[in-house]
Every structure is written in C-alpha cells, then in structure tokens.
C-alpha cells in the first residue's frame, strides 16, 4: 500500500506539471499484475512505472487507456493510441504492422534448482518435477517440451506466482523452477539455490508504437538505455517481482 501511495504521488507530480507539453495515449491492461494493475484511479506495476520513468526522461505526459489485450494493437494501428505497453511479445507478424522499441524484458527461462541437487540440466528438464507460474512463457515451454500425457503433466507443478514456486523449491516440493530471465536477474542472493542453466525461448517484451514513428521509438529507446544504465529498470523489477 505504501508503494501505491508513492506511485500515486509520482503521477500527480508528473501529470500536474506544466513542463510537459506532449500528451501521449498509452494503451495497457489493468489485469496483469505485477506488470500492470489499478488501485482506485492509479495505474501501478512494473510496466506502468517504467513508462512513467520514460515520460519523465523524455519530457511528455501520458494518458492511460485500458483495453482488452486483444484490442490494443488494433487500436494502435487505427491511430487511437500512441503507445502500447502490456507485456506484448515481439513477433515478426506484429513487426509488419507496428514498430517496437528495444526489448525491456527477456522471457528466456532460467532454471533454478537446489544447490544440493545432483541432477543435471537435461535431467531436470526431461524428468524433474518443475515448478512454474501458471500461464507464463515457462509454463507453456515446459508443457510443449514434455507433451500432454498425464505422466508429463504430473511433474509440472503450477503455482499462482513465481514467489510461491520459489518457496516450493526451497521446501523440496519441486526439483527446479523456471522463471523469466528478467525476474531471475533481480533474484535476491540465496546460498541454497543455484542457476542450473538457461532455456533460450527468444521471447522479448517491447513497447509498440505506430508504424513509421521513428522519432517516438528513438525517444523511448534513449530513455530505456538511460534507465537501464542507471539501474532503474533492475530496481523496478526487484520492487515488483521480489
């Protein structure tokens, strides 16, 4: 709740300022915490704070427009939005109709296991009990790799959040956990755990803008680099995911 109050104050300062002259319409969803969600009239989450920081860096205001995820890209291509940030995975198909910023999120999967485990990476992925956050890239990847048999499904343990999955790993309920690389980068140190390997999924999240808007893409990319170099992006990931 304290964090919500702090972010709410940030928005009041940002949107109430007379310094910023350009108002950009940002399409998002409000039902994908911790990436994006709403408390009262304030949009919060990793992506919301990220776009707020970008706006401060580059000197523009933002007005959030909440839509269903399947409606965001059509609204962008119809010029009803200027920006979309909603954990949108970059694909070649989408590149044909919108332009993307540099990725701000990697969904390559880190395999985290107990340091006391004797199982190697291939064994963990083939037959180990794997914990995942339900509906994530890790969940989809391991399900596809193992197939749809009842036996395979028994050894894929789905949890509501990656934090619960990590707690299960520490308790010995699973052999390993798959989590996004960008979450793993913010993982607090734990001497009982280790990185067993990484699965290259190639999935990246990026900010989408209307096709051909090179000036806006350049501005967003400049801010993303500046925020990354300053450690702000990692700070936000740590705050919202751990």
pLDDT of residue 78: 98
For the segment 153-192, what is each residue's pLDDT rounded down to a tens digit? Answer: 899 999 999 999 999 999 999 999 999 999 988 888 888 8
Whether pLDDT at 242 is above 90:
no
The tokens for 213 are: 């808007």
Q: Which domains does the chain have, with CATH numbers?
A: 2-104+206-241 (3.40.190.10), 106-199 (3.40.190.10)
Closest CA to 157 of 176, 171, 184, 170: 176
**Residues 90 and 204: beta-carbon distance below 8 Å:** yes
Compute the half-sphere exposure of residue 93: CA atoms within 13 Å on the CB side of its CA: 3
pLDDT tens digits for range 20-61: 468 999 999 988 889 999 998 889 999 999 999 999 999 999
């Amino acid at each position: 709740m304290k964090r919500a109050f702090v972010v709410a104050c940030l928005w009041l300062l940002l949107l109430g300022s007379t310094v910023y002259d350009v108002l950009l319409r940002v399409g998002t969803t409000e039902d994908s915490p911790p990436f994006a969600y709403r408390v009262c009239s304030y949009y919060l989450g990793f992506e919301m704070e990220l776009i707020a920081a970008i706006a401060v860096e580059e000197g523009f205001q933002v007005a959030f427009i909440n839509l269903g995820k399947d409606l965001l890209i059509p609204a962008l291509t119809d010029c009803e939005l200027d920006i979309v940030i909603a954990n949108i995975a970059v694909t070649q198909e989408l590149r044909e109709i919108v332009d993307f910023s540099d990725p701000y999120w990697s969904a390559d999967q880190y395999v985290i296991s107990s340091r006391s485990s004797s199982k190697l990476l291939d064994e963990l992925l083939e037959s180990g009990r794997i914990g995942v956050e339900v509906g994530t890239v890790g969940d989809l990847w391991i399900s596809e790799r193992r197939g749809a048999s009842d036996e395979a499904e028994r050894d894929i343990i789905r949890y509501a959040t990656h934090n619960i999955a990590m707690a299960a790993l520490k308790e010995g309920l699973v052999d390993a956990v798959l989590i996004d690389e960008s979450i793993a980068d913010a993982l607090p140190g734990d001497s009982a755990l280790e990185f067993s390997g990484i699965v290259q999924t190639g999935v990246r999240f990026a900010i989408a803008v209307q096709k051909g808007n090179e000036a806006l893409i350049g501005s967003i990319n400049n801010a993303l680099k500046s925020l990354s170099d300053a450690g702000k992006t990692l700070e936000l990931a740590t705050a919202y995911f751990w």
